[in-house]
Amino acid sequence: MDAMRTVSIEELGRHLASVPGKPRVVVSGNVAVPWEAVRALDENKDAYTIHALNAPPGIPDREGVTAETCFVGAGMRRHRDLSYVPSRLSLVPVLLQRRLPPDVVIVHCAPPRDGQLSLGIEVNVLPAAIEGCRGRSGRVIAVVNDQMPYTYGDAQVPVEAVDLAVEVSTPLAAHDPLPPDADSAAIGERVADRVPNGATIQMGIGGVPDATLNALTSSSGLRIWTEMFSDGVLELDRVGALDPHHPLTASFLFGSRELYDWLDGNHRVRMMRTEHTNDPGLIAQQRMMTSVNTALEVDLFGQANASRINARIYSGFGGQTDFIVGALHSAGGQSFIALRSWHPKADVSTVVPLLDEPVTSFQQSAIVTEHGVAELWGYDQQAQCRHIIRDAAHPQVRDELWEEAAQLGLA
């Protein structure tokens, strides 16, 4: 393959117009979508499939555009032609190489250093997409942004792996952490009380994970092996709660500009491909692996729905099942589902007798709400049910849940 060629956005548009048929175009997802190239694609190609993980608002939504994903973000949730492909996140790279091979891959990169671009804050499934695309003589395009942090590990892409590049200077979407609300803080404290010094942590973004990290600042020797992290990890590093001799392993990031500045050129952070970070076998090898995830609702059998509302896909499996399985097979590992007992917007209990929606995960160590910790692992189903009602459910629905439990044969 020839060396990477830098072109104007107009040239890129003409190039994309020449791609035959209705191509599958994989783009960086989360907050790293290469918007300049997406607009060029949409303006020059009548019909195409755009594949992105957890895409934010802005994905083109018109006739001729199929929005394809294994994890639905706000930018695709109500798309007129959504193609949701259920998959554990660890297996999405396999899909992109075998079942959903891309014709074009567009990645958002930091400028090259020593002949290597960097995928920056979004590695995820992109290395597999690039390999699958090159394996079928597809086209790899880089949007090179001097405001993207330069990261290492699987983030590095040789310039010769890229056909065309477009240079931009665009600030990344950033989010400053907010103080946790009272319920999130209470949940975070309860989870943190269960995390021993020296444990390895996985948690996502949101009020409860942020609150948990806030409550871990007095810990020591913590390690990070996760899909993603945000500013809470930066604070743990600042106060010396992390193991200074162990790298931080993640696959994508989202946070403040301070986080991005800290990340740039930081060799302590290893941005790895999804099939590495989310491999349950590798997760299980981590010391006292502790997985903290959330859900939309849980039931009296300990099942969690984190994916669907009224049967409509809201997100997807993500990495929840990968990390639950990996954590429980880790020596001293544990896995928590942490959520509020009451949904503030829907004004309903998040603990229900039996899920109406497809199950995302089950067999956690415990369910944690602001009211307590419901122990699951190692107890029979009747005891699990008692713990969920007594220790996790909102007090005003407990009587009703006891009645439902009896009808389900759990009490």
Here the CATH number for the domain that contains residue 84 is 3.40.1080.10
How are beta strands 24-27 and 48-51 bridged, if at all?
Answer: parallel
Please tell me whether residues 198 and 114 are part of one structural domain.
Answer: no
In angstroms, rounded to a whole number, what is the distance separating the alpha carbons of residues 381 and 257? Answer: 46
* Helix H or strand E encompassing 406: helix 398-407
| Rounded to 5°, angle at Cα 367 from 219 and 230 | 45
Please tell me whether residues 43 and 73 are part of one structural domain.
Answer: yes
Measure the CA dihedral 253/256/261/267, to 10°: -30
What pTM was computed for the model? 0.95
pLDDT of residue 346: 85
**11 assigned to active site:** no
Name the nearest CA neighbour of 71 among 57, 62, 83, 80. 83
User: Averaged over 102-119, what is the pLDDT?
Assistant: 98
| DSSP summary character for residue 55 | P
Question: What is the number of structural domains in the chain?
Answer: 2
In angstroms, rounded to a whole number, what is the distance separating the alpha carbons of residues 397 and 260? Answer: 43
Burial class (CB in 10 A: 0-12, 13-18, 19+), 350: buried
Token pair in block for residue 212 = 């948990």
pLDDT of residue 258: 97
What band does 345 get if pLDDT is binned at 50, 70 and 90?
confident
Contact 97, 128 (CB under 8 A): yes
CATH number, domain of 322, equals 3.40.1080.20
Please tell me whether residues 90 and 54 are part of one structural domain.
Answer: yes
Q: What is the overall mean pLDDT for the chain? A: 96
What band does 4 get if pLDDT is binned at 50, 70 and 90?
confident
User: Could you say which of 36, 227, 297, 370 is catalytic?
Assistant: 227
**What does the pLDDT look like over 36-83, one tens digit per residue?**
999 999 999 999 999 999 999 999 999 999 999 999 999 999 999 999
**Structural domain boundaries, residue 190:** 182-407
